[in-house]
Amino acid sequence: MNYITTRGGKDCVSAAGAIKQGLASDGGLFMPETIPTLDTKAISKLCTMSYPERAAYILSLFLTDYTYDELLADCEKAYSTDRFVGGAAPIHKLNDDTFVLELWHGPTSAFKDMALQIMPKLLSSALKKTGEERTAFILVATSGDTGKAALEGYRDVDGVKIMVFYPVDGVSRVQKLQMATQLGENVSVCAIEGNFDDAQTGVKKIFSDSDMAALLNDNGVFLSSANSINWGRLAPQIVYYVSAYCDLIESGEIISGEKIDVTVPTGNFGNIFAAYIAKMMELPINRLVCASNKNNILTDFLQTGTYDRNRSFYTTMSPSMDILISSNLERLLYVLSGAENTAELMKKLNTEGCYTVDAALKAKLDEHFTGLFCDEDGTAAEIKRTFEEDKYLIDTHTAVGLNCAKQYMAKYRDGLKMVVASTASPYKFASDVYTAVAGKAPTDELSALDELSALTGTEIPYPLKDIDKREVRFKTVINKEAMPDEVKKNLGIK
Ligand SMILES: *Cc1c(COP(=O)(O)O)cnc(C)c1O
């Protein structure tokens, strides 16, 4: 299977090539030329498999230059029960209609682990498959969760170095500590003054700087991305939607072929786009609810057809969704309207910060997606209500998702089962979760973990226990203009 770009450029590469390169050379994103499908026979076969087997099966349909056995070996390591305590993607039944897909049992307590535990292994194989001798330098912009998950995934992987930039005031204290205390010989972490979009724009600039590429090449280094624009991030995310569908069949909640709805708390549009690919593969998904927080640019886009980034940016209690440019939306535009139109819209976004899709594309969006949002008060109220009424503790991002799912169900009453993606452990955002449940702030952000555990009788997950007792290794804060210099410094290049 070949991978081509969303903007119509000449790049045409294998899966290994797409994973190694990250971004296409015309600035577009890689997409498989065709989407494989899953018939009911394939789904019943998947039902009998373990999560690693399901992952290897789905991945093998897309990564045709990797063997099934190779993928299975990697998936068994990536999704082992000592890394994913409590299972890779278990479902919690909230009530007869609503099911929470818990994606945060991995080593950093957020859903990014689902992709970032396997992706470094895919890259490592990709380097071998393509005869690469240079070091891959992974450059990441993060609003918190990606950074830590990438650091943990790439830590001490051969032939790879990783550097993470995060907005100094745009992540929680726990997220900051998780990154600043990261272990590994090949990792580094740097804060920048600015917000997540500043960090992402800075990273994108470095990626598109040909002088920088030449300089790095002279020093035996090339850049690669771990952000959700990389196909190696997206493909593993398709798996858990298929897996959830199988689990619902296995537990007798649905019968094979029955349609379900899916709600995804959305930021960069990677997770929900993976769900859309599952739908394209003919997994019986009826509607995809795109849930946003107060930064509701996607809600406006899906409701009106106009994407307008000329608006205020808010820092919310669900920071991983605080975003004005959702990079993976480009893939959806491409699938629904082709490369030429996508290139044009992306050019407009770049120059005017705004674009409007035509009626045909708007109609196609409406066929699959509903955009809804939930503000800060709604988020806090959802956490409290879910804990008190359903005896289930959720984080701030999941609360946005659940709130939007309920809005959708109240309005459309389609009678289908709803699966809500739960993207982080409540302990990752303990302070806001505690405040929502207790009605008062915790003593401080760190003691919030213990206080939340005492208040709710739930356990702190292993990756977050004693986080404040670990050694802080990374303290640098820089201006966003200094990002290229920081990269050179890190690689020892003058
Ligand atoms: C990254 C993240 C999201 C947003 O996912 P996208 O794929 O960027 O849309 C939502 N919740 C949490 C906790 C995250 O870490």
Ligand 1 pocket test, pick from 262, 271, 425 with the greatest ligand atom count within 8 Å of Cβ, gives 271
Rounded distance, CA 13 to CA 18, Å?
6
At 371, list the tokens: 């955009």
What integer is the mean pLDDT of 456-481? 94
Nearest CA to ligand 1 atom 14: 320
| pTM score, whole prediction | 0.93
Cβ neighbours for 406, distance < 8 A, ≥ 6 positions apart: 98
Q: Does the CB atom of residue 321 touch ligand 1 within 6 A?
A: yes
Residue 282 lies in a domain: yes
Question: Tokens 């705004």, residue?
Answer: 354
Q: Does the CB atom of residue 320 touch ligand 1 within 6 A?
A: yes
Among this protein's residues, is 112 annotated catalytic?
Answer: yes
Ligand 1 atom nearest to 268, measured from its CA = 8
Centroid of ligand 1 to alpha carbon of 400 (angstroms): 11
Q: What is the pLDDT of residue 261?
A: 98
Q: What is the pLDDT of residue 196?
A: 84
The string of pLDDT tens digits covering residues 224-248 is 878 778 999 999 999 999 999 999 9
Ligand 1 pocket test, pick from 229, 301, 320, 464 with the greatest ligand atom count within 8 Å of Cβ, gives 320
Centroid of ligand 1 to alpha carbon of 484 (angstroms): 26
Residue 451 lies in a domain: yes
Q: 23-37, 160-174, 348-362, 432-446: which range is least confident on average? A: 160-174
Percent of the chain scored above 90 by pLDDT? Answer: 88
Centroid of ligand 1 to alpha carbon of 100 (angstroms): 15
Q: Does the CB atom of residue 267 touch ligand 1 within 6 A?
A: yes
Q: Is the pLDDT of residue 159 over 90?
A: no
CATH number, position 343: 3.40.50.1100
The string of pLDDT tens digits covering residues 239-290 is 999 999 999 999 999 999 999 999 999 999 999 999 999 999 999 999 999 9
User: Which one from 20, 112, 148, 362 is the annotated catalytic residue?
Assistant: 112
CA-wise closest residue to 265 among 316, 313, 203: 316
Q: Does the CB atom of residue 370 touch ligand 1 within 6 A?
A: no
Q: What is the pLDDT of residue 146?
A: 84
At 47, list the tokens: 């039902």
Ligand 1 atom nearest to 267, measured from its CA = 9
| DSSP collapsed to 3 states, the chain | CCEEECCCCCCEECHHHHHHHCECCCCCEEEECCCCCCCHHHHHHHHCCCHHHHHHHHHHHHCCCCCHHHHHHHHHHHCCCCCCCCCCCCEEECCCCEEEEECCCCCCCECCHHHHCCHHHHHHHHHHHCCCCCEEEEEEECCCHHHHHHHHHHCCCCCEEEEEEEECCCCCHHHHHHHHCCCCCCEEEEEEECCHHHHHHHHHHHHCCHHHHHHHHHCCEEEEECCCCCHHHHHHHHHHHHHHHHHHHHCCCCCCCCCEEEEEECCCCHHHHHHHHHHHCCCCEEEEEEEECCCCHHHHHHHHCEEECCCCCCCCCCHHHCCCCCCCHHHHHHHHHCHHHHHHHHHHHHHHCEEECCHHHHHHHHHHEEEEECCHHHHHHHHHHHHHHHCCCCCHHHHHHHHHHHHHHHHHCCCCEEEEEECECHHHHHHHHHHHHHCCCCCCCCHHHHHHHHHHCCCCCHHHCCHHHCCCCCCCEEEHHHHHHHHHHHHCCC
Residue 341 lies in a domain: yes
At 477, list the tokens: 């804060």
Q: Does the CB atom of residue 171 touch ligand 1 within 6 A?
A: no
Given a contact cutoff of 8 angstroms between Cβ atoms, the answer to whether 198 and 179 are in contact is no
Residue 324 lies in a domain: yes
Q: What is the pLDDT of residue 270?
A: 96
Centroid of ligand 1 to alpha carbon of 215 (angstroms): 33
Residue 422 pLDDT grade (very low, low, confident, very high; cuts 50, 70, 90) = very high
In terms of residue numbers, what domain contains 237?
91-108+232-461
Residue 175 pLDDT grade (very low, low, confident, very high; cuts 50, 70, 90) = confident
CA-wise closest residue to 395 among 179, 151, 111, 146: 111
Q: Does the CB atom of residue 292 touch ligand 1 within 6 A?
A: no
Residue 385 buriedness (CB in 10 A; 0-12 / 13-18 / 19+):
middle
Residue 330 lies in a domain: yes
Number of domains into which the chain is organized:
1
Residue 433 lies in a domain: yes
Residue 343 lies in a domain: yes
The string of pLDDT tens digits covering residues 110-139 is 999 999 999 999 998 899 888 999 999 999
Rounded distance, CA 416 to CA 96, Å?
10
Q: Does the CB atom of residue 265 touch ligand 1 within 6 A?
A: yes
At 212, list the tokens: 């920088």
Residue 484 lies in a domain: no
Q: Is the pLDDT of residue 418 over 90?
A: yes
Q: Does the CB atom of residue 110 touch ligand 1 within 6 A?
A: yes
Centroid of ligand 1 to alpha carbon of 489 (angstroms): 30
Q: What is the pLDDT of residue 494?
A: 83
Centroid of ligand 1 to alpha carbon of 23 (angstroms): 20
Q: What is the pLDDT of residue 445?
A: 86
Centroid of ligand 1 to alpha carbon of 267 (angstroms): 5
Q: Does the CB atom of residue 424 touch ligand 1 within 6 A?
A: yes
Dihedral sign computed on CA atoms, order 440, 443, 448, 450: negative
CA angle 300/304/306 to nearest 5° reads 80
Residue 466 pLDDT grade (very low, low, confident, very high; cuts 50, 70, 90) = confident
Q: Does the CB atom of residue 194 touch ligand 1 within 6 A?
A: no
Residue 337 pLDDT grade (very low, low, confident, very high; cuts 50, 70, 90) = very high
As a whole number, the mean pLDDT across the chain is 95
Q: What is the pLDDT of residue 226?
A: 80
What count of Cα atoms within 13 Å lies in the side-chain half-sphere of residue 333? 30
Rounded distance, CA 469 to CA 457, Å?
23
Q: Is the pLDDT of residue 143 over 80?
A: no
